[in-house]
Amino acid sequence: VNTSLIRVPKDPNRSLGIVASIEDLTEMKKLETMRSDFVANVSHELKTPLTSIKGFVETLKSGEVEEEEQRQRFLGIIEIEAERLTRLINDILTLAEIESHGKSDKEASIDVQTAIESSLDIIRPIATAKNIQISVEVEEDLPKIQGKDDWFKQMLINLLDNGVKYTPESGEIELKAYTQKGRVYLRVKDNGLGIPKADVDRIFERFYRVDKGRSRKVGGTGLGLAIVKHAVRSLNGHIEVKSKEGEGTEFTANFPSDKGQ
């Protein structure tokens, strides 16, 4: 904090204003640190696959790899790394878009049932490939939620996708949507790996992963839950998580409905 800004004012009634400005500065500093951490993380995350792609392309170009099988293996790695870059760039852009739009569109409203169906269309094939059952229970005639449909779907897809990624083969995911006290609730529960107690408070942070290697292996970018957090915020909702290592994880989000309380 710049000391010249915290001089005690002659007029004692003005001291409140000074306190606020110190708090503003602390907040600004925090935001600045978050921003520079994010830039450092993004560059690291982007450079890793690029370095690997460049390395394998150079090796292939040199003509030193004679066996066709080996060449195919290298091409496979290049493809996987390029896909990772695509996912990463898409997630960075989605996060930037949700953040820059602030509070969502007051004119738009979300039909929860339809949004759930289209999110499931995307996730079901991935779940089926791992023999994971998704059971769905949606209350009839759910009221609408105000906000942008795309962000609601993105949130739900990310939660379900994590359920599939962090649940072993033949696991189960439960999706429930219901109303309580005039709010619309959405719950995604899995019986997968769970999250250790020490990590659970940090999982909504950008690029925070409990196990980096595992996240990488299942195609994670570390941005899924940061996107969820911002999407929920843009829909004026709340989200919480309960988890037990080795037993499973449950995310519950709730939103104001157009019927109000």
Q: Which residues of this chain interact with ligand ADP, rule CB under 6 A?
A: 162-163, 165-166, 190, 192-195, 203, 208-211, 215, 220-226, 249
- Asked if 5 and 21 touch (Cβ cutoff 8 Å), the reply is yes
Q: Which is nearer to ligand ADP, 127 or 142 (CB)?
A: 127
Q: What is the closest distance, in whole angstroms, from the C-beta atom of residue 192 to ligand ADP in the complex?
A: 5
Q: What is the closest distance, in whole angstroms, from the C-beta atom of residue 194 to ligand ADP in the complex?
A: 6
Of 233, 256, 90, 86, nearest to 151 by C-alpha is 233
Q: What is the closest distance, in whole angstroms, from the C-beta atom of residue 165 to ligand ADP in the complex?
A: 6
Q: Which is nearer to ligand ADP, 145 or 223 (CB)?
A: 223
Beta strands in 34-182 (DSSP E): 109-110, 133-138, 145-146, 172-180
Q: Which is nearer to ligand ADP, 206 or 257 (CB)?
A: 206
Q: Which is nearer to ligand ADP, 153 or 209 (CB)?
A: 209
Whole-angstrom Cα Rg for the chain: 23
Q: What is the closest distance, in whole angstroms, from the C-beta atom of residue 190 to ligand ADP in the complex?
A: 5
Question: What are the residue ranges of helices labelled H in 62-111?
Answer: 68-100
35: left (phi over 0), alpha (psi -120 to 50) or beta: alpha
Residue 109 token pair: 């409203």
